[in-house]
A and B are shown apart, each in its own frame.
Chain A
Amino acid sequence: MSITSYSFLLFAGVLFILYYLIPRRFQWILLLIASYVFYCFSGVRYLGYILATTVFSYIVSMKIWDLKRRQDARLKLKKDEFSREEKKAYKASVKKKQKAWLVAALLFNFGILGIIKYGNFIVSNVGSLFGASGDDLFFHLALPLGISFYTFQTMGYLIDLYRGEYEPERNFFKFALFVSYFPQLIQGPISRFGSLSKDLYTGHAFDGRQVASGLQRMLYGYFKKMVIADRIITGLTTISGDPATYSGTFVLVGMIFYAIDLYMDFSGGIDIVIGLSQALGITLPENFKRPYFSKSLKDYWHRWHISLCNWFKDYLFYPISTSPAMLARAKKMKAAGHEGLSRRFTVYTATMVVWLSTGIWHGASWNFVVWGLLNGFFLLLSQELEPAYRRFYERFPRLEKNALWNAFRIVRTFLFVSLLCMFDYYDSVSTVIRSFIGMFSSFRLSVFWDGSLLAIGLTAADYWILLVSLILVFVVSWFQEKGRSVRSLIAARALPVRVIAWYGLFLIVILFGAYGIGYDATQFIYNQF
């Protein structure tokens, strides 16, 4: 069920009405049922995967908790008998057992994800090493809906539990809802149990303001997705689908189109998901903070797909960089006199592992591996150049506040990020490199006025619609960047203004949305991640 389909709107509408009609204590049960119904729409045969993850993770969560509970009881009982060392040893032995359960759960769940998502990639690459043709080894497993999202969310939960950050959810069905809450299955965000669970399980009374605000956010999401992303993608697929014809300047055009498409599609979808949840009284974490206003790559990765970046930071970067083995090795380096190396060793290794994983998370292909590694590399590079930057700003102190200079930094970062994203939509690494070189070697400015841009599936009207819509999104983002909410600004105005603003946006989506027959209904880019 696509999020832009009539059936989704019908589904959400019916759920919404039922949600506020039934007694509040049953609301979470309705959400659980709705989530599973939603999941079944994507294919009943995938139900096994999410159930396996739910059941196994539940068992492990109970085990980890049980071990902790028994440990506490025993410690209390033997408070006077245990020496400090004995106590420590006992605690360590319990931790070891907990760890064993956690590792089992991680292996099991990431194993499923790995086989389904990366089996093809691994098998065919290993196969080609031995000279077998890829086709013989192909095994086709379609991706269950949202498998990356729910796997990551659930594993985060288990790791937090292991770290003793909170008590587990003992009600199996409530836990199942945490894993399967349907708006998140579509494309995240990846939530933390601590913040989501309260909202999921407690009842919510109908709050007109919250509901209106949620619906408004959904509408804005549909606008971004249907009017901008689903329109611009026509031009993008023409360019990326035929790199031989669309070389030179078109590569630049395609690069910018993709950056716009990806952001509008993904963040628009997140707006819909967060808005829908808000209308149900559930707060989901933000996933974007105007990433294209970033002044550096580092800044960008603090603003883009935030929940995923945080996941990697909390559950991969820190564990690696603070692991005893790593610290011991760094210490050794320091002792040997390599102070700089020692200081960098842990951070660099952790960073590259994180970025390799982020790359792989995005898709099973060399394109994403290279994309991830390049991101990591440039982040580290800019970190290395930090002292140079500092000296530069010391020399030109007024530059840091200079609007023009900052605009330059924003544009530079945008172009750089877009450039890296070329790995997303060209079919191979070699095509990316060829296209990238071609962008400079056969650049023709005339493409912009000789009518070539009207031959890639977009009409003059499409460009006008895109331009006006992008300006609208820019203005809204500008307000948000200044810490002001456009929704609150509108809500404070008189009724006619409010009606015109929201009904106007609704009409824009209805009239200018690229949906229905004649437009290929495109799936969310992040749907199957």
Chain B
Amino acid sequence: MRKKLTACAFALTLCLSALIAAGCGGDSNTSTTGAGSSETTAAASTADEGFYFELEGQKLTPGMAQDDMISAIGETDNVFSAPSCAGQGTDYTYTYGSVEIVTVPNADGVNEISTIALRDDLTSTPEGVSLYMTTADMTAAYGEDYTQSGNAYTYVKGNVKLSFIIENDEITSIEYSLATA
């Protein structure tokens, strides 16, 4: 009898310690597990923090699936489809008023937004910059942390690249694209 009691007590203690360990781990785990998972969580969280464009109150970002985009902002009549040579998928250019959105097939053959471009000054970025504004307007909204190549000024946030082209101190192009591309 006594033996059994001892065994039970021991078993219970072990169970409890395991559960306590489990309880401790449960909450903190997602942020603290080793190298393996930290990379993925980092990628996922930065995707949320990257630049985005707003159309009809919906957030659009490069990398978003074309289907998700259409269900968010609806269809448009102005679509241009460019089938790649030899049946390797089709690029689409959707024009919604002042905004041009290009989708291209990803590695799995699913179309995703590759670029969002502003075509005129009837619309602006969520930070309030539109075409034909000046360099000062751009830096006032996005700061000085850009890289310059030719006339292009590029800001990167998360996995999204926001590029302005400035000619004669006038913004002539605003484009969102994937930073990895």
Contacts and interface: CB of A to CB of B under 8 A. Distances in A.
Interface stretch (A75-83, A120-128, A311-319, A439-447): A120-128
A430 B22 CA distance: 7
A140 B42 CA distance: 13
B15 A429 contact: no
Given A128-B28, A366-B22, A381 B35 contact: no
A340 B6 contact: yes
Contact of A377 (B18, B28, B32): B18
Contacts of B85: none
Contact of A366 (B2, B7, B24, B38): B24
Interface string B91-109: 0000000000000000000
Interface residues of A, number: 38
Interface of A: 117, 120-121, 124-125, 128, 133-135, 138, 140, 142-143, 338, 340-341, 344, 348, 352, 363-367, 369-370, 373-374, 376-377, 380-381, 384, 427-430, 433
Contacts, number: 98
A414 B159 CA distance: 43
B81 interface: no
A429 B26 contact: yes
Q: Report whether over half of chain B's contact residues are helix, strand or loop; otherwise say mixed.
A: helix
B25 A370 contact: yes
Given A340-B2, A344-B10, A381-B11, A370 B18 contact: yes
B32 A429 contact: no
A373 B17 contact: yes
B10 A124 contact: no
B136 interface: no
A143 B29 contact: no
Contacts of A430: 22, 25-27, 29
B37 interface: yes
9 contacts: A121-B33, A125-B32, A143-B35, A364-B33, A370-B18, A370-B21, A373-B21, A384-B7, A430-B27
Given A340-B2, A377-B14, A377-B15, A367 B32 contact: no
A374 B35 CA distance: 24
Most buried by A among B10, B15, B34: B34
Contacts of A369: 21, 25
B180 interface: no
A128 B28 CA distance: 8
B11 A428 contact: no
B7 A140 contact: no
Contacts of A427: 29-30, 33, 37
